[in-house]
Amino acid sequence: MQEVPLGQSDLTVSRLAYGCMRIAGTWNRAEFTPKHEEAGRKALQAAYENGYTLFDHADIYGRGLCEEIHGRFLAENPDLKSKTIIATKCGVRFPGEPESTSPYRYDFSKNYIIESCEKSLERLQLDQIDLYQLHRPDILMNPHEVAEAFHELSERKLVRWFGVSNFTPRQTDLLQSSLSDKLIVNQIEISLAELEPFMDGTLDHIYQRSMTPLAWSPIGGGWLAAEEYAPGGGWVEELAKLHHIVGGVAKTIGISRHQLCLAFLLKHPSGIIPIAGATNPSYIKEAAETANIELSREDWYGLFTSARMEPLP
């Protein structure tokens, strides 16, 4: 797969990232079985075989299981470590932790960032994380305190580069103003079903700052790739229309729905890296092949206008 630079760093990564959120098959440790582990390993193996080098994690994925699976996989396949760029995230805290009365919340306190990083490294069985991101904006964020945490993690050589996730342009600039090193990515939700970053200045800001946009849920949670979609669960007429249009355009071009959704993002000049999160090896391969697909401007704008549900001004 083609490789591209990651922001203003010395990291070079695959044109698509592999999202590891689902490789544990469950978020309930009590339900986790050897079959779940085997399926996760097969997904990782397929990702490596198809040229993915950037692997997206978070400490909360599978409540730590996803990082653990990847850690064991790399420990048993040390030759793959040189082909691996690990990105993981911190800052989301579940309810009931550490106290039974603790609410669901975000936490960018210095001690929590450092502690979370140390635990991720332990689960991944690594000495250093390539890209460490703040997961969701903490309303109580003190950028100077975050800077202290980042500085310590960098000085201890536990992290190479830092980034953010789901940050607005102003939140990104606020944090960057306290940092000595450049933030290299902002991971945002963007797809044919979530077009706001194209229009609200988020992608413009990322591009202007020479950061790389990482796109989570690039296929709208997977429903845009489904051949058929059962009504219900928030399925409304407008989304049904979009689903139908995606299928028609994909058929005309001669690619899958899955590939069309990814190619739509790859077209943008900001260098969006879609995070492909399928666990089926055939879908992992199919997504990787998207890196070679170039949509025309006409096809891109046709999709964009259809997804907006209204004509351009």
Lowest mean pLDDT: which of 5-9, 70-74, 158-162, 304-308? 304-308
Distant-in-sequence contacts of 23-31, Cβ < 8 A, 24+ apart: 23/62, 23/66, 23/69, 23/70, 23/279, 24/61, 24/62, 24/65, 24/66, 24/69, 25/62, 25/279, 26/62, 26/65, 27/61, 27/62, 27/63, 27/65, 28/63, 29/63, 29/65
Catalytic residue among 18, 52, 61, 106: 61
* Annotation marks residue 61 as catalytic: yes
pTM > 0.85: yes or no: yes
List phi, psi (to 5°) of 242: -65, -45
| Domains with residue ranges and CATH for the chain | 3-219 (3.20.20.100)
The rounded distance, in Å, linking the Cα atoms of 148 and 127 is 20
CA atoms within 13 A on the CB side of 204: 6
Residues 232-248: what's their mean pLDDT?
74
Q: What is the pLDDT of residues 44-90, one digit of tens each?
A: 999 999 999 999 999 999 999 999 999 999 999 999 999 999 999 99
Query: In this predicted model, what pLDDT tens digit does every residue of 267-291 receive, in sequence order?
Result: 999 999 999 999 999 999 999 999 9
Q: What would the mean pLDDT of 17-36 be, rounded to a whole number?
A: 97
